[in-house]
Amino acid sequence: GKDVIILAIKPQTMKKVISDIKDVISERQLIISIAAATSTQFIEDCLGKNIPVIRAMPNTPALINEGMTVLCPGRYIDKRHIKMAMDIFGAVGLVEVIYREELMDVITALSGSGPAYTYIIIESLTEGGLRMGLPRELAQKLTAQTLLGAAKMVLETGMHPALLKDAVTTPAGVTVDGLMELEDGGIRVTLIKAVSRATEKSKELSR
Ligand SMILES: NC(=O)c1ccc[n+]([C@@H]2O[C@H](COP(=O)([O-])OP(=O)(O)OC[C@H]3O[C@@H](n4cnc5c(N)ncnc54)[C@H](OP(=O)(O)O)[C@@H]3O)[C@@H](O)[C@H]2O)c1
């Protein structure tokens, strides 16, 4: 009899869980699924009734209220449902709504998987500091707060990252040498390919 039912289960168990609950679900309830690679249509079809379904792609920083969630409404969704879902996920971070469900694959690859990519970057910058003699704990703190600060600069100023980068890069300075090594290592292409490859994988798993 609840207004909202959140399906926070693995995609493989979706069909079974829905078949267990579908008899007690009615059209005036809202189903929100956070399962990756599982379309609203798949869930609607499993339910076999005109049940409002919203597909959500949250990420793990929701644990500390810094989540990024993208919502995609199914066929039987109205504005009131979207507002309810925005309130729920808005309590643990930022929320966006999209209507083109095919974009959920790249969203999964970008903000869903993104924390994992970022942890690799944090580990590596930390090891750079470590290699040059910084204590590990300090190196890790400097790295994480620097990423957080830079991310907030982008979100809060709305400026292009290239302009923000230029502001710390002085002629014949220190930063430009670091940037040159990053470019030499192909960091841009590597990150672009990571998102592309993970998007392809999400598409492969989708149903
Ligand atoms: N991890 C992420 O960053 C992330 C981001 C976005 C979306 N997702 C999606 O979130 C979903 C859950 O991921 P997770 O990492 O939280 O997985 P998880 O830790 O394995 O959690 C799965 C949950 O489903 C429950 N469950 C399993 N079978 C069930 C059944 N037959 N009936 C009712 N409940 C059942 C489990 O309960 P018990 O513990 O009692 O077995 C558990 O609480 C996945 O579909 C994933 O694609 C994850």
Domain with 197 in it: what CATH number? Answer: 1.10.3730.10
Which of the listed residues 6, 7, 10 should we mutate to test ligand 1's pocket, taking the one with most ligand atoms within 8 A of CB?
A: 10
Q: For residue 45, what are the domain limits? A: 4-108
Q: Which amino acid is at 154?
A: V
State the average pLDDT over residues 19-46.
96
Ligand 1 centre from 32 Cα, in Å? 13
As for how many domains the chain has, the answer is 2
pLDDT of residue 15: 95
Instruction: Give residue ranges with CB within 6 A of ligand 1.
Output: 8-11, 13, 16-17, 34-36, 57-60, 112
Q: Length of the chain, please?
A: 207
Strand partners, 94: 68
Helix, strand, coil fractions of the chain, as percent rounded to 5: 60, 10, 25
Same domain for 82 and 59? yes
| Distance between Cα 143 and ligand 1 center (Å) | 31
Give the pLDDT of residue 150. Answer: 98
Q: What is the mean pLDDT of the chain?
A: 97
Query: Where residue 2 falls among pLDDT bands split at 50, 70, 90?
Result: confident
Residues 9 and 104 in one domain: yes
Phi, psi of 190 (to 5 degrees): -60, -45
In a 10 Å sphere around its CB, with 0-12 CB exposed, 13-18 middle and 19+ buried, how is residue 126 labelled?
buried
Residue having the nearest C-alpha atom to atom 9 of ligand 1:
35
- Which CATH number belongs to the domain containing residue 29 in this structure? 3.40.50.720
Q: Are residues 85 and 127 in the same domain?
A: no
Nearest to 169 by CA among 184, 156, 179, 158: 179
Q: What distance in angstroms lies between residue 22's CA and the mean position of ligand 1's atoms?
A: 19
Residue nearest to atom 39 of ligand 1 (CA): 9
Same domain for 90 and 140, yes or no, is: no
Ligand 1 centroid–CA 139 distance in Å is: 34
**Residue ranges of the alpha helices (H) in 48-186?**
79-90, 104-107, 114-131, 136-157, 161-168, 175-184
Domain boundary among 49, 74, 108: 108
My answer on whether 31 and 85 are in the same domain is yes
Rounded to whole angstroms, the Cα distance separating 131 from 114 reads 26
Res. 1 pLDDT band, cuts 50 70 90: low
Q: Can you give the pLDDT at residue 121? A: 98
Which carries the bigger pLDDT value, residue 41 or residue 207? Answer: 41
Asked if the model's pLDDT at residue 172 lies above 80, the reply is yes
